[in-house]
Amino acid sequence: MNWCPELGTVLANEEVIDGKSEVGGFPVVRKPMRQWMLRITAYAEKLLADLDTIDWSDSLKEMQRNWIGRSEGAEVDFQIADCRLPIADSKIRVFTTRPDTLFGATYMVLSPEHKLVDQITTPEQREAIARYKTQIAGKSDLERTELAKEKSGVFTGAHAINPVNGERIPIWIADYVLASYGTGAIMAVPAHDTRDFEFATKFALPIIEVVKPSECDGARAVPARSAPVRSGTHEHSKNSVPNDALRPGTGRAPAEAFCELGVAINSSSTEFSLNGLPTAEAKKKITAWLEEKNLGKKSINYKLRDWLFSRQRYWGEPFPIVWKKDAAGNLYHEALPESSLPLLPPSLEDYKPTTDGQPPLARAKDWLNLPDGSVRETNTMPQWAGSCWYYLRYLDAKNGGAFVGKDAESYWMGTTGCKLKVESCKSDSSAPQPATCNLQPATPGVDLYVGGTEHAVLHLLYARFWHKVLFDLGHVSTAEPFFKLVNQGLILGADGQKMSKSRGNVVNPDDVIEEYGADAFRLYEMFMGPLQDTKPWNTSGVAGVYKFLGRVWRLFVDEPSETEFEQAETTADCSRGCESAESRALTSAATKLLNLIKLNAAIKDVAATPAQLKTLHACIKKVTEDLDGMRFNTAISAMMVFVNDAIAWETKPVAVLREFLILLAPFAPHIAEELWEKMSKVQSPKSKVTDAGSTTLDIGHWTLDSLPYSPWPKFDPALLVEDTLEIPVQVNGKLRDVIRVPAAADNATIEAAALASEKAKPYLAGKTIKKIIVVPKKLVNIAVA
RNA sequence: GCCGGUGUGGCGAAAUGGCAGACGCACAGGACUUAAAAUCCUGGGACCUUCAAAAGUCGUGUCGGUUUGAGUCCGACCACCGGCACCA
């Protein structure tokens, strides 16, 4: 694994607001701490590329792509040009995605934290630089970004040499350059970058245009028009046309100056020229030249940072690491042997960090110090350590020898066939269609993961990373953990706002279940709209599906008469805590009540009529297809249609109702099971026999003919065929009539029937028929002029 | 600012380029009831006529386009939601 200890500055400001902790309001200070990092950046490329092999929403994939933030460009070295300085031989390295604009680099900017700042600052600028750095250091990161509207910075007094044309350019520091990205230093090209432009304008720095826009015509049209195709990398800004008032007196049209792609101009030296080259080619040429002259090289940068993986808390997995000293007294670390795993946290009376800022585990002196003089690591892992692999542990939760057994892993997470496909696809890049890696019928990994978007860039990226490491080490069968992922939409409060305690709009499921039952609650959540959509909660909607379940109930059973019910209820009226005699009375009353509930008298063991079969099979078709597509809302409405129809049947065939219960079971399992049981009790032996493959075999609580073991109904398309069809007749696309024709009618017959329509005729009178479109089984449209 | 998503009745929504509003909520009228609740039946996009009905016109965020036909496809825009945000 890529555990890597790093000594460095860690900003302990995760929960900082204005320098105070979010909970408790304690002052927050930054201090250097030894922390563990996971080198997730080493997997940036794989994490990015393999997004193409999984079935996730585009928006989620895009979020991960943006988070990884791959940028292709070049690193370029600028020689420092002040011989007065003691480090005159040093170079400043910058990263740029637009090496082709190097001739337009008119100044440089270092982040205030850049390690060369103090060394290059000239004596006369020292005070101003120090003041700026102090000012920046006193601000939280949040304040720094909030104040970003106005550019600020200070000249260091030093200069550097632009390697392509030998120009002396000033070196500034400014907080718009981040220490943590790229090299912490930039070459500024104000003619082609909004931020550089703002800065140059404010501090009167020169602006030289080096790209002539080729595809953006029109003086001010840039932001309105679609930009030329982007390469997917992070280019310089392509919008923000500055005002004339802001524009320096160069006389150039600002719209053109900010066009993204074009042809290089003003880009030549005595030995080298980019002029006339389109941006893409100019990039290639200058990068090759820089590499040849040893002035720079092609480079790829990521926004993704290595992952700070230690916490100073008690509750977390302790690192299985000990610290030792070598002969010279230098500290080094070793992993515990496997025989010492798993490493459990020690018992503590006090879970707080020590007064000198050590993690809580440092309090466990007996645990901390080992007999051989080595000392345990006291940081603990964050909660991600569990969420990154729990799905693997679930496969083999009781395995004491491994995190997951080989057999269990390959059985659940992959098939041999799948694994081969993934691998052959990876190793053989010349394979003609990489699409064969995608969407194989036997899906590798977790087949379906339903989760919220809040996990888009943390959990879902971290888990993919861990899984890939395990894959590369040969512990798992697939390169990706979650094959298909669906983001369920957020359920908002009744006021259309996100539920939160502070808004007081939280709906507690327990309360809803108390009033309407778990079936109604579950059904409503599925009925309210598409799974992926955000939608507001509406309690009267629960009442609606509750009513539907009531209709289902009455479709199957005859309620006792009010008198019967009241008689039984009187005896049963006993709250909890009855004496045992009363309890017995209660039990017998409850039995009485149950006996009063009888199967609907209309339910008979008879053959279904064609109309009934049609209703049933239309429902089977819709529910089956919608379940596959996770369109639960429309599946439920199909069942409502069925019930509305079936409740009016004078005779209700047992076999039809049984199949309906199987459809209902995934949506409302409790009521479905209850009704199924009632049906079984009164079912005649004859209908039991007709159920294919159903024998009474006791397997614990359920028998093979109980609901969960019943085969899912198959719909028969032949039963859905209509004898006659209703065909709308349109004239010039407007509905004028609906005609009935035999289902077997050919186009000519339908056309003739449409032309004969009394209602359509007035719209045809005196017009020339240009064309008649007959859409088989759908409609007729008569185009007239 | 950038990226992604969503716009359809009073509300949640439905509709392989082919009858817009299925299904449900809320509402209105009726039945049952002493009454209410529950249940059952009926109605319903807007507008315009009409005693009533039929007919008609308009209608899926806005403007334009493609098409015999557009909620659906294309272009531009607007609004809202989510994510990222000085990432060179």
- Return the exposure string of A737-764: e unless at least 16 CB atoms fall within 10 Å of the residue's CB, then b: bebebeeebeeeebbebbeebeebeebb
pLDDT band at A500 (very low <50, low <70, confident <90, very high): confident
A301 nearest nt, CA–C1': B87
Q: What is the pLDDT averaged over residues A180-197?
A: 93
- Least confident range of A425-434, A653-662, A733-742: A425-434
- In angstroms, the CA of A767 and the C1' of B8 are apart by 34
pLDDT value of position A427: 32
Give strand letter and number of the nucleotide nearest A144 (CA to C1'): B86
Angle at A630 between CA A629 and CA A635, to 5 degrees: 95
Cis peptide before A342 (omega within 30 of 0): yes
- Protein CA A513 to sugar C1' B61 (Å): 38
Separation between the CA of A97 and the C1’ of B4 (whole angstroms): 24
The predicted pLDDT at position A337 comes to: 93
Q: Provide the CA A546 to C1' B41 distance, Å, integer.
A: 20
Distance A534 CA to B81 C1' (A): 9
A187 pLDDT above the threshold of 90: yes
Query: How distant is C1' of B27 from CA of A538, in Å?
Result: 16
**Is A530 within 7 A of strand B by CB distance?**
yes
Is A237 within 7 A of strand B by CB distance?
yes
| CB proximity A740–strand B (7 Å threshold) | no
Q: Write down the pLDDT at residue A564.
A: 66
Q: Whose CA is nearest the C1' atom of nucleotide B24?
A: A544
A253-267, A306-320, A323-337, range with the lowest pLDDT: A253-267
Q: How confident is the model at residue A317 (pLDDT cuts 50, 70, 90)?
A: very high
Of residues A545 and A572, the one with the higher pLDDT is: A545
Q: Is the CB of A97 under 7 A from strand B?
A: yes
pLDDT value at residue A221: 27
- The CB-based long-range contact list for A539-546 (8 Å cut-off, 24+ gap) reads A539/A494, A539/A507, A539/A512, A542/A512, A542/A516, A543/A516, A545/A520, A545/A636, A546/A516, A546/A517, A546/A520
The 10s digit of each residue's pLDDT in A264-274 is 999 999 888 99
Q: How many residues does chain A have?
A: 785
Please name the residue whose C-alpha is nearest to the C1' of nucleotide B55.
A759
Spatial contact of A765 and A717, defined as CB atoms under 8 Å apart? no
Q: What residue is closest to B23 (Cα–C1')? A: A637
Q: Which residues contact A579 (CB under 8 A, 6 or more apart)?
A: none
What is the ipTM, given to two decimal places? 0.95
Question: Using the CB atom, is residue A562 less than 7 Å from strand B?
Answer: no
pLDDT of residue A80: 92
Tell me the C-alpha distance between A646 and A660, whole Å: 10
Higher pLDDT, A486 or A259: A486
What's the Å distance between residue A548 CA and nucleotide B30 C1'?
A: 22
Question: Is pLDDT larger for residue A129 or for residue A150?
Answer: A129
> How would you classify the pairing of strands A535-536 and A557-558?
unpaired
Average model confidence (pLDDT) for chain A?
Answer: 81
By C1' distance from the Cα of A492, the closest nucleotide is B81
pLDDT in tens, A336-387: 998 998 999 999 999 888 888 889 999 999 999 999 999 999 999 999 999 9
Task: Indicate if CB(A644) is under 7 A from strand B.
Answer: yes
CA gap A327, A341 in Å, rounded: 28
Q: Is the CB of A153 under 7 A from strand B?
A: no
Q: Is the CB of A547 under 7 A from strand B?
A: yes
pLDDT at A9: 34
Alpha carbon distance A211, A283 (integer Å): 12
Give me the pLDDT at residue A516, please: 94
The answer to whether A182 CB is within 7 Å of strand B is yes
The pLDDT of residue A368 is 95
Please answer whether residues A753 and A769 qualify as being in contact, where contact means their C-beta atoms are separated by less than 8 angstroms. no
Grouping H, G, I as helix, E, B as strand and the rest as coil, residue A684 is coil
Residues 603-642 of chain A within 7 A of strand B, judged by CB, are 631, 633-634, 636-637, 640-641
CA dist A322 → A113, A305, A328, A345, A374 (Å): 33, 26, 18, 14, 6
pLDDT given at position A700: 41
Asked whether residue A58, judged by its CB, lies under 7 Å from any atom of the DNA or RNA strand B, the reply is yes
The answer to whether the Cα torsion of A721, A727, A728, A733 is positive or negative is: positive
CA atoms within 13 A of residue A446's CA, in its CB half-sphere: 22
Q: B64 C1' – A733 CA distance, angstroms?
A: 20
Contacting residues 471-490/A vs strand B (CB within 7 A) = none
Q: Which of residues 437-456 of A touch strand B (CB under 7 A)?
A: 453, 456
Q: Report, as an integer, the average pLDDT of A634-641.
A: 97
Q: What is the pLDDT of residue A694?
A: 40
DSSP assignment of A533-588: S-EE--HHHHHHHHHHHHHHHHHHEEPPPHHHHHHHHHHH---TT--HHHHHHHHH
Chain B: positions less than 7 Å from a protein CB are 1-6, 11-16, 18-20, 22-26, 38-41, 56-57, 68-70, 75-77, 81-88
Strands (E), A631-751: 652-653, 698-699, 702-703, 724-731, 734-742
Percentage of the residues of chain A whose pLDDT score is greater than 70? 77
pTM of the model: 0.80
Residues lying close to strand B (Cβ under 7 A), chosen from 489-518 of chain A, are: 498
Query: Which residues, other chains included, contact A330 with Cβ-Cβ below 8 Å and sequence gap of 6+?
Result: none
Tell me the mean pLDDT in the region A166-182. 93
The closest alpha carbon to A294, from A89, A71, A74, A73, belongs to: A74
In this complex, the nucleotide whose C1' atom is nearest to the CA atom of residue A186 is: B88
Asked if the Cβ of residue A728 lies within 7 A of any atom of strand B, the reply is: yes
Write out the two tokens for A87: 């480090």
Phi first, then psi, for residue A377 (nearest 5°) are -65, 140
Residue A224 CA to B58 C1' — how many Å?
A: 33
- Under DSSP, the state recorded for A373 is S
The confidence band for A494, taking pLDDT boundaries of 50, 70 and 90, is confident
What the block records as the tokens of A24 is 């408790």
CA/C1' separation A230–B66 (Å):
27
At residue A126, the pLDDT reads 95
Task: State the first-to-last Cα distance of chain A, in angstroms, to the nearest integer.
Answer: 76
**pLDDT of A422:** 36
- DSSP letters for A126-151: HHHHHHHHHHHHTS-HHHHHHGGGS-
How many CB atoms are located within 10 Å of the residue A71 CB?
Answer: 18
Give the closest nucleotide to A539 (alpha carbon vs C1'): B25
For position A353, what pLDDT does the model report? Answer: 86
pLDDT band at A726; cut points 50, 70, 90:
confident
Taking the C-alpha atoms of residue A18 and residue A255, their distance in angstroms, rounded to an integer, is: 39
Q: Residues 22-51, chain A: which have Cβ under 7 A from strand B?
A: none
pLDDT above 90 covers a percentage of chain A that reads 50
Instruction: Flag whether pLDDT at A315 surpasses 90.
Output: yes
pLDDT tens digits along A416-434: 433 333 333 333 333 333 3
Q: Chain A, 279-308: which CBs lie within 7 Å of strand B?
A: 301, 303
Dihedral sign for Cα atoms in the order A617, A620, A623, A626: negative
